[in-house]
Chains A and B, each alone.
Chain A
């Protein structure tokens, strides 16, 4: 499943937590037209690097698909950050 939302939690020394909900679905919607516009350039770049553009697209899509359920958390008494991708 493509990740729809990312939740970024930031905590400062005062133990105040700022939670930001990032609607990734909107980001994807914005990036799709850009990706379509840039696709000829990406295609040429892949060929110049001797990489199959179709394979590159496939792997990129798989990475995007697999980002779902990723969780990263770093906690320190002075600050902390947590990123959850849903």
Chain B
């Protein structure tokens, strides 16, 4: 970069370009540098790992009692531990749960979930963001689930 700047200044000193042209060239050079830095920044910066899962519910005012607000912050470590707890479920209980799930018409087999899949699932939660807005009996209910 300094090399380019030096070349511009040399051209100016040699009279090949005017002072205005030199200024414009230097400005263009700096603009090019800042845009390339901003383009590279998201890739070079390490992504911070989320620490908490947040669930926020705002029921809105239904005109009777007023709004109810729920705010839950769960550490991701607790989610991981909970997932491991699910891995302790005995096979018989899993079979029963599978039967109940199939009866509900959901084609899902709990025994197919492996601990490594669950770890991956928790890791992917970092990109999770769910926003639900719904009008319920005149009150606007807002549910927000995200990681931070």
Contacts and interface: CB of A to CB of B under 8 A. Distances in A.
Interface of A: 49-52, 55-56, 58-59, 62-63, 65-78
Interface in B60-74: 65-74
User: Can you list the 5 inter-chain pairs with the closest CB atoms, starting with the nearest?
Assistant: A77-B66, A66-B77, A66-B78, A71-B73, A62-B81
Given A49-B90, A51-B90, A75-B69, A63 B85 contact: yes
Contacts of B51: 69
A76 B61 CA distance: 10
A56 B91 CA distance: 15
B84 interface: yes
Contacts of B80: 62, 66
B144 to A, nearest CB: 14
6 contacts: A50-B90, A50-B91, A63-B82, A66-B80, A73-B70, A73-B72
Select the residue from A49, A66, A67 with max chain B CB neighbours within 10 A: A66
Contacts of A78: 65-66
A72 B67 CA distance: 17
Contacts of A71: 71-73
Given A73-B72, A74-B70, A75-B70, 15 more contacts: A49-B90, A50-B92, A55-B88, A59-B88, A62-B80, A62-B84, A63-B82, A65-B77, A67-B75, A69-B73, A71-B73, A75-B69, A75-B71, A76-B67, A77-B67
Interface residues of B, number: 25
A75 B68 contact: yes
B146 interface: no
A27 to B, nearest CB: 18
Nearest to B74: A70
A18 B46 CA distance: 43
A76 B68 contact: yes
Nearest to B86: A59
A52 B87 CA distance: 11
Nearest to B59: A76
Contact of A59 (B52, B71, B85): B85
